[in-house]
Structure 1
Amino acid sequence: MRIGIFGGSFNPIHNAHIYIAKYILHKLQLDKVIVVPVGKASHKNLKMVDSKLRFEMCEKAFENEKNIVVSNIEVRTEKTSYTIDTLKKLISIYGGHNEFYEIIGEDSANNLTTWKNYENILKLSKIVVFRRGHYKNIIQHKNIIYLNTPIYEISSTMIREKIKNNEDVSNYLPQDVLKIIKAYNLYK
């Protein structure tokens, strides 16, 4: 099987995340994309909504996608989440005979050499980089695939700011995700 791994804070998950997961699933003819909301992030000092709520929002966002699943592999632990550790766990679950594709944005690719054991990530998987529009393809490697994906002018930061300012965000999020945000009064 060809398995994509799409990790992120998803704080909150939004339409661009959904489009990217679907685009890469079809573009690379993957059998499955596993969406992995981060538990305790190693690289961000950002105040995130509780991991269980972010997991629930991701589940709602992809509930009708049969080839996209959401994993709680990181949110169910209190330990700091590192891509290499999650990749190894998923390889042990799905089997090393499968092909794994880590899906990241250009912003993350720009900092890839600072990731824990990034060389091993490149040995165990291919890294698929989607465009964010602000970065140059810095690192080159035979296992890095730069895709000419559409650039979406949506970010979780922008959505959080709009919610804080009581602006309408209904065009940026699935309705079920927006219901969770409103029910728990998130990002206010």
Structure 2
Amino acid sequence: MNLPTALPNAKAGIQRLGVFGGAFDPPHLAHVALVEAAIVQLQLQQVRVLPTGDAWHKPRQLSDAANRVAMTRLAFADLPSVVVDEREIGRSGPSYTVDTLHELHAEYPQAQLFLLIGEDQRRSLTSWHQIGEIGRIAIICAAGRELAVRAWNEEPGTAPTSPPLSDTLQARIRTLDMPLMPHSATDIRMLAATEQALTGLVPPAVERYIHEHHLYRPH
């Protein structure tokens, strides 16, 4: 896959900017595949990958932020157009996507923003904080509907039941063409807890990091 490279220190040259947030606890191959697909299909010049800070919507405590950032950097190290952005980690209080989009719009006023999300996130969009404003600022780009329900950072049994999206918001959503990748961060953590191999689920460097740092093992 031929991926365009970023334009370092050239904000004025970036016209199409991807934004991909998540717990990344841990980052896995479906995350990487989504970003690769978005770069090619949307012709993105740069993608900001943002590990979340205070995940107000998560039913569990996230792993240490430093480990999640380190794993995210390893996961996306081979994609030169990806910048791992720590702004949400350093933000006090709940971390909302709309705040990040406002900041990036101010930093890149000439750029079209593309918010990258998984299919499970598409189904929960109506519950997002200021979703109307999100749809105004960015084009929302979701993984294909055939993607397995538990393919990202979700917890078992938390699939939301949401009202239909408005026509205006629906018009701002694009679908990314992706193969079926039923990766689940929950399942990966369970495997890591018993020191099982994670081959084919996370990038090799992330697997090494998890095992070397004894992540997700019961205390």
Same fold by TM (over 0.5)? yes
Distance (whole Å) between structure 2 residues aligned to residue 108 and residue 24 of structure 1: 16
Q: 1:146 corresponds to which residue? A: 175
Q: Select 1:116's aligned residue among 129, 133, 136.
A: 129
Find 2:89's aligned residue among 64, 75, 94: 75
Aligned partners of 2:50 and 2:200: how far apart in 1? 23
Q: Percent identity?
A: 30
Is 1:15 the counterpart of 2:29 in the alignment?
A: yes
Secondary structure of the residue that 2:181 maps to in structure 1? coil
Structure 1 unmatched runs, 5+:
none
Q: Partner of 2:115: helix, strand, or coil?
A: strand
Residue aligning to 2:201: 172
Moved over 2 A (4+): 131-135
More strand by percentage: 1
* Corresponding residue of 2:186: 157
1:1-188 alignment, distance < 5 Å: 1-93=15-107, 95-131=108-144, 132-134=147-149, 138-139=164-165, 141-188=170-217
Distance, in Å, in 1 between the alignment partners of 2:199 and 2:181 is 16
- SS of the equivalent of 1:41 reads coil
* Structure 2 CA distance for partners of 1:129 and 1:187, relative to 1, 3 Å: same
Shift of 1:171: 2.3
SS at match of 2:179: coil
Query: SS of the residue aligned with 2:199?
Result: coil
Q: Which moved further from structure 2: 172-181 or 65-74?
A: 172-181
Q: 1:64/1:147 Cα in 2 relative to 1: closer, same or farther (>3 Å)?
A: closer
Letter in 2 for 1:155: S
Counterpart residue identity of residue 41, structure 1:
A
Any gaps of 5 or more consecutive residues in structure 2? 1-14, 150-158
Deviation for aligned residue 1:153: 1.6
TM-score norm. by structure 2 comes to 0.80
The aligned amino acid for 1:21 is: V
Conservation of the 8 A alpha-carbon contact between 2:54 and 2:89: yes
